Amino acid sequence: MTALPASGIPALAANTRVPATLPSPAPDSAFQGAETVREAPVADWVTLADLREDPFPIYRRLRAEAPVHWVPAVNRYMVVSYDACHTVEQDADTFSANEEGSLMKRAMGHSMLRKDDPEHRADRDSYGSTLRPGTIKNHWMEIFERNHRRYLDQLKAKGPGADFVWDYAAPYAAENLRLICGFHNATQEDLQRWSQTMIDGTGNYADDPEVWAKAAASSAEVDAAIDEMLVYLKDRPDPSLLSGLASMPIPLEAIRANLKMTIGGGLNEPRDVLATTAWALLSCPEQLEAVRSEPKLWAAAFEESVRWVAPIGMYPRQTTRETVLGGVRLPAGAKLGVVLGSANRDPKVWEDPESFNVLRAKKPHLAFGGGQHFCAGAWVGRASVAQVALPGAFAELRNLRLEPAGSAIAAGWVFRGMTSMPVAWD
Ligand code: HEM
């Protein structure tokens, strides 16, 4: 295999032209003092606009100063070191997912993602085997292949200049999720609209009434679609989530909330990891060459991509009692942002963490979360993206390239991915 340079490509930066290789930024300074208990430092220099554009320089500075900060712009304690994020994930008694005043609960209802065990476990178990490896292998893989063909053909029909995100990755991820959920009465476009409007609701800290109105309209549409499908699928069972739920002793309210959360959490992430990985490989021809010459590396490229740019960059938790995390004192009821996007670039865990490097030594990243709430769709994400879409798209689009070069844009920090990625091929 071709030898690769030690450093891969640099951090994604929104609206910036990115050459194929660049030296990575200077490593973080040594982590300071977790032994003594201190009050949380106040990071009043962090702004939402900077986080949205490119959060990684901010994370570097935060990590170098302390594992946990109070960040006024976010109105939360941001947990930024790998160890502190991991501790939160493993201790649900102290760090509850059932956050008070959660906007997600308002937009989508009270799903498993905002419950702690044992309530959470009952909801999680209700998803049965739909998202598990056996069902993926025996049922969903064929469907992923079919959907890949369909949307790659649409991208090709559009011709060079088509957008890899919006003409391929998004409809592919949405159609897969539509069938996994069992919405035979909706389109992939409905899934994209429902997902985006309800996600906008979960982030509506400005309390914009228009955002709430759109989220509520989607929520009502999803309720109606679920009601119809639960009846339909009872007589015509299939491996979908709704089909399994049709015969489960679980309250309708929970089914609705869990499906809405899954629509919000199962579409953007595969879309984003697909486009981010393609962007990273197209920006670094040596790494693309390595993957092309060793197909097993598609899986490594996927894992490295979600480490490097975690599609879910931050999720909330709340302390149930006063505690100390990473040497920082937290009061009871403190609202936390667990910043996976930062934990995954902690230099205490990874060498040269800002670089995308498909050959780096394998270590457990946190992109799928951990503990009780470890992503239920991780196998679906891996199979649909690393086994089908990435190898398929690179095999079929000869000389796939970013065109115009440097015009691709990445954005976001709570969710991060490519927002525009025009491509061409021969
Ligand atoms: C491929 C990229 C994906 C990434 C990076 C990802 C990431 C995550 C993360 C970080 C969490 C935990 C959040 C928290 O603890 O607050 C989570 C939970 C979850 N994800 Fe994913 N996800 C992906 C794909 C999917 C897909 C394709 C589905 C569905 C088909 C899905 C369904 C879920 C569900 C149902 C949960 C809630 C689990 C629970 O509360 O027990 N995810 N995901």
Nearest residue (by CA) to ligand 1, atom 42, is: 377
Q: Show the beta-strand stretches assigned E in 297-426.
A: 315-319, 323-325, 328-330, 335-338, 401-402, 409-411, 417-420, 423-424
CATH 1.10.630.10 is held by the domain 108-312+365-424: yes
Residue 336: phi and psi, rounded to 5, are -115, 150
pLDDT at 31: 39
- Give the residue extent of every domain in the chain: 108-312+365-424
Helix (H, G, I), strand (E, B) or coil at 318: strand
Beta bridge partners of 319: 95
Helix (H, G, I), strand (E, B) or coil at 339: coil
Q: What is the pLDDT of residues 50-106, one digit of tens each?
A: 999 999 999 999 999 999 999 999 999 999 999 999 999 999 999 999 999 999 999
State what percent of residues in the chain have pLDDT above 90. 88
- Give the residue from 275, 269, 265, 273 showing the smallest Cα distance to 420: 275
pLDDT at 13: 34
CA distance linking residue 226 with residue 219, whole number of Å: 11
pLDDT at 268: 96
Give the residues surrounding ligand 1 with Cβ less than 6 Å away: 112-113, 124, 131, 177, 180, 262, 265-266, 269-270, 273, 306, 311-312, 315, 367-369, 373, 375-377, 380-381
pLDDT at 35: 61
CA distance linking residue 384 with residue 172, whole number of Å: 9
Using the mean position of ligand 1's atoms as its centre, give its distance from the Cα of residue 241 in Å. 15
Nearest residue (by CA) to ligand 1, atom 34, is: 376
Using the mean position of ligand 1's atoms as its centre, give its distance from the Cα of residue 339 in Å. 15
pLDDT at 369: 97
Q: Are strands 335-338 and 76-79 parallel, antiparallel or unpaired?
A: parallel
pLDDT at 203: 86
Q: Are 303 and 362 in contact (CB under 8 A)?
A: yes
- Give the residue from 329, 326, 352 showing the smallest Cα distance to 339: 326
pLDDT at 28: 37
For helices 268-283 and 297-308, what crossing angle results, to 10°?
Answer: 110
Please report the atom of ligand 1 found closest to the CA of residue 374.
Answer: 12
Listed as ranges, residues in the chain with pLDDT below 70 are 1-35
Nearest residue (by CA) to ligand 1, atom 11, is: 375
Using the mean position of ligand 1's atoms as its centre, give its distance from the Cα of residue 173 in Å. 14
For helices 285-293 and 268-283, what crossing angle results, to 10°?
Answer: 110
Using the mean position of ligand 1's atoms as its centre, give its distance from the Cα of residue 54 in Å. 23
Helix (H, G, I), strand (E, B) or coil at 336: strand
Q: With residue 76 as reference, give the H or E element that holds it.
A: strand 76-79
